[in-house]
A and B are shown apart, each in its own frame.
Chain A
Amino acid sequence: MNKVAFTSRNLYLQVLLILVLILLVALPFYTSAYNIMLLCNILMYIIITVSWVLFSGPTGYISLASAAFFGVGIYTSAVLGQSLPLPLVIIIGGLFSFFLALLVGVITLRLRGMYFSIFTFGLVELVKHFLLWWEITKTNTRGRFVILVNYIHVFYIMLAIFLVLLLIAYLIRRSKYGLALQSIGEYEEAAAHIGINVTLLKVVTFAVSSFFIGTVGAVMATRWTYIDPVIAFDPFYSFMPVLMAIFGGMGQLYGPVIGAAIFAYLEEALITRFPYHYMLIFGIIMVVSILYLPEGLIGLLQKLWKIINSGRLAVYREKRQKRGTGREQENA
């Protein structure tokens, strides 16, 4: 891999990224409301997945708490949506998730492997049942209405959150903290030995990733009009990011983005076409991708890229060899 090829590939990526961005910004002007809402849904999954990968990807701590942070965002929106402007509600939703993650992080990040995953999953249920109890005994409400927001606004807000998240994920990856997170995943004790403040780094990254999940919850709540704790804290949103990240591949930043985009689109397409069998088809796709795509879609693409390149090289070598032997024969 020489340097020139690397930078030119980066340039292609940047140009592609800007083109996609322009396309997305202009989208509401020439497509239907249904498509915009579908895109919002896809963006939602992408943001949750990229946030999840931000922490769980490099460190290997598999968090199943995404649904808890998502739900906190949703509930913030339901409770404060009537009295505060939307941008403020979104930021508050993110901050609530941030602080919940800080608290949980301080308590649980001493746990490793399975224990951490199980605890984070328990957190979803814990928050859900606490809220249920609170709503029934203290506020006498079972569900809440959320103020509807223009779908085009929702779309632009989601796009903005996505871009900010992408930028932050990119900056973390490039900085020494990205490498430090990876070193925690590879050998936590050695990471502590070389002077990394392991606990602080883990807790803060976990909280930052939760912030974004919270903001998305706050925005998307406006699409659902009615929510209650059971709807808001659906464990489905804990498992989806894990599946999508595995499906896309976590080695690169664009892996989870592409994985989540395809997966979310697939979900929508399958639900509309095979409403009774879509879960079955979903399951089969998942099993196949785990069995045959250990590095996800991105891993597959990289392999194909390598094969194409090495194929070119082989053809080139063959040509040269033929020319060489031809000359030798002439000489003889």
Chain B
Amino acid sequence: MLELNNINAFYGKVQSLWDLSLKVEEAEIVALVGANGAGKTTLLNTICGLMSPASGSVSFLGRRIDGLTPHSIVEMGLSHIPESGRVFPDMTVRENLEMGAYPYHAWKMKEETLKQVFQIFPRLEEREGQLARTLSGGEKQMLAMGRGLMSRPRLCMFDEPSYGLAPKLVLEVFRIVNSLREHGITVLLVEQNVRHTLEIADRAYVLENGRMVLEGSGAELLQSDYVKKAYLGL
């Protein structure tokens, strides 16, 4: 569904991604884990069109998308949910969600999608008329996720959805990401919370200093000595 081949990317003169390749198949949950500064967010920005790679190709649903603008990539059904808190603070929860349905095809179905999103996040329905700035950190994250789903994506990319949340909410977020499978949504999950991520992921990649160092199924990686030592502290 999504395929990256030999991506190299730069921030000015500094190379941040080295010869990266990655593949996400339909209906999979694929995880990308790594420490701070490993290049995870850069990779997501490259996929969603905010940055363009110096070399290599990105294709989605069989079409090259590197070089396309972010909004046309969203319209193809690829949604990027940025790090928490990036909601529109002075708009209501409902307005935030409606804005998520901005792409043409999604706008026509927004009432229907809204119902589905409220089913996934009942909390948001309770807060419908409230300004987004008055939400708690967890609720803001739910709102950002809900807004991302409003564009009716085929593939959702989450950038650290559990970041800065209380442990109970972290579990809730992972439960929701896992449940997206039932809605036919493919997931690319970028996380620092390695254990929970590998538990729900079908496959995972480990990124270090802009290079892929490991690749395998979630269960395999959980058992690997390297991951245990470097990320799980065992």
Q: Which residues of A contact B (CB under 8 A)?
A: 176, 179-180, 182-183, 186-187, 189-198
Contacts and interface: CB of A to CB of B under 8 A. Distances in A.
A182 B74 contact: no
Nearest to B81: A193
B50 to A, nearest CB: 7
A142 B176 CA distance: 71
Nearest to B99: A183
Given A176-B102, A179-B98, A195 B82 contact: no
Given A183-B88, A186-B90, A194 B100 contact: yes
Nearest to A180: B102
B154 interface: no
A1 to B, nearest CB: 9
A194 B69 contact: no
Contacts of B184: none
Contacts of A191: 88, 99
A110 to B, nearest CB: 14
Contact of B82 (A176, A179, A180, A190): A190
B151 interface: yes
B133 to A, nearest CB: 10
Given A186-B88, A186-B89, A187-B86, A194 B99 contact: yes
Helix, strand, loop or mixed for chain A's interface? helix
B147 interface: yes
A193 B87 contact: no
20 contacts: A179-B91, A179-B95, A179-B99, A180-B99, A183-B91, A187-B89, A189-B82, A190-B86, A191-B88, A191-B99, A192-B70, A193-B48, A193-B80, A194-B74, A194-B99, A194-B102, A194-B148, A195-B71, A195-B103, A197-B69
Contacts of A189: 82, 86
B88 A182 contact: yes
Contacts of B99: 176, 179-180, 183, 191, 194, 196
B10 interface: no
B86 A195 contact: no
A187 to B, nearest CB: 6
Given A176-B102, A192-B70, A182 B82 contact: no
Among the interface residues B50, B86, B88, which one has the most CB atoms of the partner chain A within 10 A? B88
A187 B99 CA distance: 12
B75 interface: yes
A183 B103 CA distance: 14
B87 A195 contact: no
Contacts of B90: 182, 186
Interface residues of B, number: 28
Interface string B96-129: 0011101100010000000000000000000000
A128 to B, nearest CB: 36
Nearest to B50: A192
A195 B95 contact: no
Given A176-B107, A179-B91, A183-B91, A193 B86 contact: yes
A191 to B, nearest CB: 8
Contacts of A192: 50, 70-71
Nearest to B89: A186
Contacts of B81: 193
A197 B107 contact: no
Among the interface residues A179, A187, A192, A195, which one has the most CB atoms of the partner chain B within 10 A? A195
Contacts of A194: 74, 79, 99-100, 102, 147-148, 150-151
Given A189-B86, A193-B82, A182 B71 contact: no
Nearest to B132: A186
